[in-house]
Amino acid sequence: MIIHVDTHIAYRFEEPTDFLLQMEAAAIPEQALSGPGLAISASEHEAHISGEDAIGTRVWLRCEGDFTADYRITADIDRHLVDLAALNQLPPHQLPGATVPYLFDSRYCPADRFQSFVEAEFGELSGGARINAMVQWVADNFSYVPGSSNATTTALDSFVERQGICRDYAHVVCTMARASAIPARFVSCYAPDVTPQDFHAVAEVFLADETGEPGSGAWHLVDATHMATAGEIVKIGVGRDAADVSFLTSYGLAQMQDKRISVTRG
C-alpha cells in the first residue's frame, strides 16, 4: 500500500527553548520511505537520536522565535497481516526481554487498576481473541470527542468518562492488554482515514507467532477508533504511552501557530 504524507507545523518560542521533535516516519523494513523528508527552519542546536526500541528518529532542537517543520514522504507499506483471533498469548516467562517493559504500568496506563475489569469482562478469552474483544469493547462504549481530554488524561480517566480522542483509545487498549499480561505499546503514526486529519495513535500488542514455537512472537497493530487499518498505518514511533512519542515535547513555553497534515493513498 502506497501512502503519501505531507505535514507542516509552526511554533513560536518567546525565549531560547529546548524541545524534542518526533514527526518523521520510522525507517523500518515494513515501510519503505522515499521523498524529500524533513525540512526544518534554522535552530541554535540540532541533534538526531533514535526513538524507543530503535524505531523512528527524534530530533533535539533549541530555538528562539519562529520555528517551522515540513515533512513530505511516500511510504510503501508491506506489513505481514494475520487474523489476531488465531494467535495465542505467550506466558510471561516466555516473553522476550524487550517486551517486558510493556507489561508494566506507565504514566497514562495504570494497568493494575484494570485487572478485575478485564477478568470479569473478557475472562473466557485469551490471546488475540481477547485483544479483538477489548478493541471492540472500546469502540462500542466510547465516543470520539475532540477536545474532551488533555495532557493529563489517563486511561482510567477515559474509562470513567467513556470518551476521548485517538490517544485515549490507544491508552485504554494498552492498559487492558497489560492487565491481561499481554505486552502492549503506544504507537504514533499517520493514517489516511483519520478525521479530521492529524497525527494518529494506535496500540500494538505482542502475541505468539503462527508457528507456536515457545518464546517466538510479533507485534500487531490495533486501532479502537476504527479510523486506521494495520495495512495502511505509517509508524512514527513507539513507547509506553503518549509521553514517549509526542510529536513535540517542549522544555519551555511553545505556542503553536499552525498545523496541517495530509495523508492520502497512492
Quick one: average pLDDT of 87-114? 96
For residue 194, what are the domain limits?
Answer: 84-244
Q: Classify strands 143-144 and 163-164 as parallel, antiparallel or unpaired.
A: parallel
Q: 96 and 181: one domain?
A: yes
In 3D space, the residue among 101, 94, 159, 91 whose CA is nearest the CA of residue 126 turns out to be 91
Q: State residue 141's pLDDT score.
A: 98
Q: 55 and 110: one domain?
A: no
Q: 253 and 236: one domain?
A: no
- DSSP-derived letter for residue 30 is T
- DSSP-derived letter for residue 220 is E
Q: 228 and 97: one domain?
A: yes
Domain harbouring 104, CATH code: 3.10.620.30
Work out the mean pLDDT of the chain and round it to a whole number.
96
pLDDT in tens, 116-139: 999 999 999 999 999 999 999 999
Q: Which residue has the higher pLDDT, 216 or 199?
A: 199
Residue 165: count other Cβ atoms within 10 Å of its Cβ. Answer: 20
Residue with cell 474532551: 148
Preceding peptide of 196 cis, ω within 30°: yes
Q: 52 and 176: one domain?
A: no
Q: 135 and 206: one domain?
A: yes
pLDDT in tens, 12-60: 999 999 999 999 999 999 999 999 999 999 999 999 999 999 999 999 9
CA distances from 121 to 105, 149, 158, 234 (A): 20, 25, 17, 32
Q: 170 and 112: one domain?
A: yes
Domains identified in the chain, total number = 2
Q: 180 and 205: one domain?
A: yes
Confidence (pTM): 0.96
Query: What is the C-alpha separation between 209 and 95, in angstroms, rounded?
Result: 12
Q: 237 and 136: one domain?
A: yes
Q: 42 and 171: one domain?
A: no
Quick one: average pLDDT of 215-243? 96
C-alpha cell at 89: 498469548
- The letter for the amino acid at 78 is D
Query: What is the C-alpha separation between 141 and 163, in angstroms, rounded?
Result: 8
Q: State residue 250's pLDDT score.
A: 97
Taking 90 as the threshold, does the pLDDT of residue 215 lie above it?
no
Query: What is the C-alpha separation between 31 and 14, in angstroms, rounded?
Result: 38
- DSSP H helices, the chain, are 115-122, 127-141, 155-161, 166-179, 242-245
Query: What is the C-alpha separation between 182 and 150, in angstroms, rounded?
Result: 27
Q: State residue 211's pLDDT score.
A: 76
**Interhelix angle for 166-179 vs 115-122, to 10°?**
80
Q: 88 and 66: one domain?
A: no
Taking 90 as the threshold, does the pLDDT of residue 213 lie above it?
no
Q: 146 and 201: one domain?
A: yes
Domain harbouring 52, CATH code: 2.60.40.2250
pLDDT in tens, 157-198: 999 999 999 999 999 999 999 999 999 999 999 999 999 999
Where residue 264 falls among pLDDT bands split at 50, 70, 90? very high
CB 111 within 8 A of CB 179: yes
Q: State residue 210's pLDDT score.
A: 82
